[in-house]
A and B are shown apart, each in its own frame.
Chain A
Amino acid sequence: EPEVTQTPSHQVTQMGQEVILRCVPISNHLYFYWYRQILGQKVEFLVSFYNNEISEKSEIFDDQFSVERPDGSNFTLKIRSTKLEDSAMYFCASSVSGTSGSVRDTQYFGPGTRLTVL
């Protein structure tokens, strides 16, 4: 069964450094997402991406963050200058459709990348 994959599983970085988190969505999916979960808190939406542009982003997704689909398979989240509060589990997800109510809007999640900022 196809699944979303993410690399690395765990990333440790120094405050102020840039990190790139990588995701390979399910191959026939068109919509891609990033979420994060700070330890002990709920999962929060960061950004959605369709047709090579951001379709929606949350207030968390400030200028420090960017997303890119550099080729036909990868979807990346870049944090330019990491802060201690960026430490979290980052989940990538993908779906066929982005329209709620469609059977194709189910978002499938990857296993996550745990980012630790020291």
Chain B
Amino acid sequence: AQSVTQLDSHVSVSEGTPVLLRCNYSSSYSPSLFWYVQHPNKGLQLLLKYTSAATLVKGINGFEAEFKKSETSFHLTKPSAHMSDAAEYFCVVNTGTASKLTFGTGTRLQVTL
């Protein structure tokens, strides 16, 4: 069985300050882990993906995530938030040969001036 837990349903940061969105996963096998972003009234866009090649993964728009097996975590970070980062962020896991993705409940990121 696989699952993800996003520890915060809502995060608010000021523009220019760091972003941290937390995700813990549970998996019976070596997982592939993803972060997707959903802007209002838009579809799901892939931010980044971990596939065991490197534990620190860099994605689009300055985001990155670090896979920590000992902590079963895959937190998403960005050094400096921008107003355009305001969106819903989903941590997603895919394990074994099952092709389905399992989504977390999402974290809504609010960026204020």
Asked if B52 lies at the interface with its beta carbon under 8 angstroms from chain A, I say yes
Stretch at the interface among B62-70, B79-87, B94-102: B94-102
Measured between beta carbons, the chain B residues less than 8 angstroms from A75 are none
* Interface of B: prevailing SS: loop
Which of chain B's residues has its CB closest to A98's CB?
B99
Given contacts A42-B104, A45-B100, A55-B99, contact A100 B43 (CB under 8 A): no
Query: Which range contains the number of B residues in contact with the other chain?
Result: 20 to 34
Contact of A58 (CB < 8 Å), options: B49, B94, B100: B100
In the bound complex, residues from chain B placing their C-beta under 8 Å from that of A106 are: 34, 46, 49
Residues of B within 8 A of A (CB): 29-32, 34, 36, 42-46, 49, 51-53, 90, 94-106
15 pairs, A vs B, C-beta closer than 8 Å: A42-B90, A42-B105, A43-B44, A45-B101, A91-B44, A98-B97, A98-B99, A99-B97, A100-B31, A100-B94, A101-B30, A101-B51, A103-B53, A107-B94, A109-B44
